[in-house]
Structures are given as structure tokens and as C-alpha cells.
Structure 1
Amino acid sequence: MPAGPSRTRMDDLTVERVLRVVEAIPPGQVAAYGEIGAIVGVGPRLVGRILRTWGSGVPWWRVTSASGDHPLLARALPHWETEGIEVATHGRGCRMAHFGADLEELRERARPALAELDEA
């Protein structure tokens, strides 16, 4: 099936763009899959797939669901503890209102790394 408006082809550039945005999330903050996708121009599921396959070298523990839940919370906890991210009382993740990265600030932090890719 060809890539179209509702379906994004996962190419090397898309993978690298997602990874660079994840690298731009500040320590002690998290961003949702959909927020990263909005910056890159892909859907949240593709962001998750990219992180699952190629994300071991970036701070994957800073990426959560929109509600702050983390699918690998047990593995993320040591990183969260180091960075001061606290688990919410429900025990599935953190409070986005407290630890969520500002989306515009994240866009700005990621801009130089994404511009490098556009120039290459």
C-alpha cells in the first residue's frame, strides 16, 4: 500500500527525526507519543514503533502516553528516579500536568537537530 495522508511510510529520515525529538526532551520531563508525532508529522503509533525498534540509544523513558502512563514503567523507574520524575498515585506513570514538557519549548529544542537532517 503506498504512503498517503493517513499512512506514513517509515523511512530512515522519519526514524531519525523521531529519535532527535526524543533526545530533545529535557531530563525530568516527559512527552507523549502524540506530541512527538505532532512535531515530526507522524502518528503516535509510528512513534511507538520507532522507539520500540530503534529507541534504545535515546531517552525512551521520557516518552509516555497522553495520560502520562508508561508501557515499560518498571524499566523506566530507575531513570525517572534519577531525573526526579515521580510516579502518580495510580501507579501507571506520571502526572503530565507536572512533568509534561512544554510542546513549543520542545519544538524549539529539537529545531537545530531537525534542521541538520533537512540540510543533509
Structure 2
Amino acid sequence: MDARRELVIERVLRCIELVPAGRVASYGAIAAICGIGPRQVGSIMRHWSGDLAWWRITNASGDFPGDLLDRARPHWEEEGIAVKPNGLGCRYADYAADMGELELQWREATADLPDPDADDLDASA
């Protein structure tokens, strides 16, 4: 894997780690903070988020596809996130993390990382 890809993955994982218990963030919100697309966030989560609180990252409606909600429910119950009446997820407006605060924390958490767009990134790896 090239240095840029590794750096993007690290930046996304650090952002996911910062979503507080009892709150959720959408793939799109994480993507906006990290400067990538929501599908990239989903792909990174699919491969590298096993030890993270993946249940805190939903789609923009607060929903999960398929069996993920069943797997997320115990975590949500523990954190006080209620499933909305349609049974597909949570009310995003009620449980969304403060994106401004999340971005500030993420900037601090990634301050030690190089800029993924730096021209000399591959040369320094």
C-alpha cells in the first residue's frame, strides 16, 4: 500500500475514534472532515475499523443496512441511542455528534501526520 493511502486510512480511523459514546456521525460527515468521499469512508471502515466503535457511524438518516443494526443494537442500548420507530436506525438529528467540535478534535489528533496532498509524501515514506 502506498504512503498516501495509509495516511488517508489513518486520518479516517482517528476521526472515527473521536465520535463520542451516545453519538453518531454519518459517512458523509466523516468524509467532509477528512477531505475524502463517503464511499471511501465506508471502504476504509469495512477493512480497518474492527477495533473501533463502528456502530457510531451511520448513513445520513442514522440508518444501517441489513444486519448491521442488529449488531449495533447492544452497543446503542449501552450508550443510550434509541432506535427510531421505523426500526432502521436512530434519529440522526437527535444523536449526531457536534461536527464542529469533532473536526477541531480531529485536527488536533492528526497534527502529527503529514499532509496527504504533499508532493514529497511518497519520497519520505
TM-score (structure 1 length as normaliser):
0.87
Q: Which residue of 2 aligns with 1:117?
A: 113
Structure 1 residues without counterparts, runs of 5 or longer: 1-9
Relative to the length of structure 2, the TM-score reads 0.84
Partner of 2:110, secondary structure, is helix
Indicate the residue corresponding to 1:5 in structure 2: none
Output the amino acid matched with 2:91.
R
Alignment coverage as a number of residue pairs: 110
- Give the Cα–Cα distance (whole angstroms) in 2 for the partners of residues 93 and 26 of structure 1: 17
Q: What residue ranges of structure 2 are gaps of 5+ in the alignment?
A: 116-125
Provide the rounded CA distance (Å) in 1 between the counterparts of 2:80 and 2:64: 15
Identity fraction in percent: 54
1:19-70 per-position Cα deviation (integer Å, ceiling 9, x unaligned): 0000000100000000000000000001000000001111111000001002
Say which of 95, 100, 117 aligns to 1:104.
100
Q: Match of 1:78, as an amino acid?
A: P
Deviation of 1:118 (Å): 2.9
Residue of structure 2 aligned with 1:19, choices 13, 21, 27: 13
Displacement over 6 Å in runs of 4+: none
RMSD: 1.3
SS of structure 1 residue aligned to 2:103: helix
Give the Cα separation in 2 of the matches to 1:66 and 1:98.
Answer: 12
